[in-house]
Amino acid sequence: MNVTVFGTGYVGLVQGAILADVGHHVVCVDVDADKVERLKQGIIPIYEPGLEQLVKENHAAGRLDFTTDAEAGVTHGQVQFIAVGTPPDEDGSADLQYVLKVAETIATYMQGEQIVIDKSTVPVGTADKVRAKLAEVLEARGRADLSFDVVSNPEFLKEGSAVADCQKPDRIIIGTENAETVEVMRELYAPFNRNHDKIIVMDVRSAELTKYAANCMLATKISFMNEIANLAERLGADIEAVRQGIGSDPRIGYHFIYPGVGYGGSCFPKDVQALIRTADDIDFDAKVLKAVESRNMEQKTTLFQKIHKHFGGDLAGKTFAVWGLAFKPNTDDMREAPSRVLMEALWQAGAKVQAYDPEAMEETQRLYGSRDDLSLCGTKEAALKGADALAIVTDWQTFKAPDFDAIKEQLRAPTVFDGRNLYEPKRMQRKGFTYYGVGRQ
């Protein structure tokens, strides 16, 4: 099938690449000329396991191309994916300007019937707005005769395993009431739907809400566990024991119930906020979601609070090693990352940071490169040298079994603030560390 994808970010690029890999002919359109040029040369702007090879191979095979030429893009595809950003507006609601711009572009250039597939995360009712935009532009062109359908097909990939998630999706949500469109979508996704039927067809509004409900449920699990961890800390209990104790109930399960330093990234914070705004718009008080958000904002400050207390409130002139800058492992994405909240608080208190992350060093350089109270270190060991303590923010594999003797040797004092519960408190104590976990004694 000939497929056009608007947007070459985490979602659009991965989607384009996996569709090309099974034999579809994909053209990805982006307004960022620099990005498009680099993609043509096989330079991938983001770190995502397996993506570089997939893009290079399929580009070389002539099944995946990149362009800024929207007209050529629209002309190419039998279906048009919208996979552009929906960042939070000032009031937290999803900013739809990029989505609606793409709708306008598609309507400006389409010559025959089209299926417009919305992959961006958008509030309930957006498909109606996209439909209205398409109709308005076609009308203005005098081409109201051209028919189209707008499908909601939200994306559930996880950054860090985006390629694998798209190649083996848990479910493919298709929001449309048009039977012909369902057939086209089934054909498009058939290579990913062989083991058992993963396609769930529903009305457009339910599909739009499914995406928000999924992310909000996951965010709720995190905030809930963080709340229980904070309680455990104060009640003399151990959250690790509690986690295993509750996870053993299949209704709860072991997945996604790790306490930590709060969720970040480009999706959970903005999607929780956007659903709260959607509820506000219809005068519905989304009490659970508001609590999830407020617990998370507080949780992001807990590592700093522990550091502050340990040093008696005096952090001026101190140096901290920070391990992990990306908002989670296997990505270089630092949007809304808890590491940023910690580092900014440390700087505010007059401390210095020696930071290391396996993939997010370039991004850190881009965000904070001009600061003289930040040293970007080439290895995790280098970050420790002469620091007053180590703070662990992201649970990268490489941090899970470090050389503790070397840590002790490099740090000025053997103090570890572990925001991910990577180590056993008792073992750390035996090794001579002052150790702080989350929800642990």
Binding residues for NAD(+): 30, 35, 86, 121, 159, 270, 335
Binding of ligand NAD by 32 (CB under 6 A): yes
Q: x/- site string to ligand NAD, residues 124 to 143, per CB under 6 A?
A: --------------------
d(CA 202, CA 177): 7
The piece of 83-91, 293-301, 394-402, 420-428 that touches ligand NAD (CB under 6 A) is 83-91
Q: H or E element: which one contains 382?
A: helix 380-384
CA angle 344, 414, 331 (to 5 degrees): 45
- The correct pick among 78, 98, 136, 425 for binding ligand NAD (CB under 6 A) is 98
CB of 100 to ligand NAD, least distance (A): 9
- Could you say which DSSP state residue 271 is in? H
Q: In angstroms, what CA-CA distances link 386 with 331, 353, 376, 389, 408?
A: 28, 11, 14, 9, 10
- CB 349, min distance to ligand NAD, A: 32
Binding flag, residue 359, ligand NAD (CB under 6 A): no
CA distances from residue 441 to 69, 134, 437 in whole angstroms, order as listed: 59, 59, 8
Binding residues for ligand NAD, how many (CB under 6 A)? 26
What character string, x for contact with ligand NAD (CB under 6 A) and - otherwise, covers 100-119? -xx-----------------
Does position 30 bind ligand NAD by CB under 6 A?
Answer: yes
CB neighbour class for 308 (10 Å; exposed up to 12, middle 13-18, buried from 19): middle
Residue among 265 and 419 whose Cβ is closer to ligand NAD: 265
Whether the CB-CB separation of 318 and 311 falls below 8 Å is answered with yes
Q: Contact, 320 vs 346, CB < 8 A?
A: yes
**Cα–Cα dist 156/361, whole Å:** 26
With CB under 6 A as the contact rule, the residue among 67, 93, 114, 120 that binds ligand NAD is: 120
Interface region with ligand NAD, contact rule CB under 6 A, candidates 9-17, 167-175, 388-396, 430-438: 9-17
Which residues have a catalytic role annotated?
267
Helix then strand then coil, in percent of the chain rounded to 5, is: 45, 15, 40
Binding site for ligand NAD (CB under 6 A): 6-12, 29-32, 35, 83-86, 98, 101-102, 120-121, 155, 157, 159, 266-267
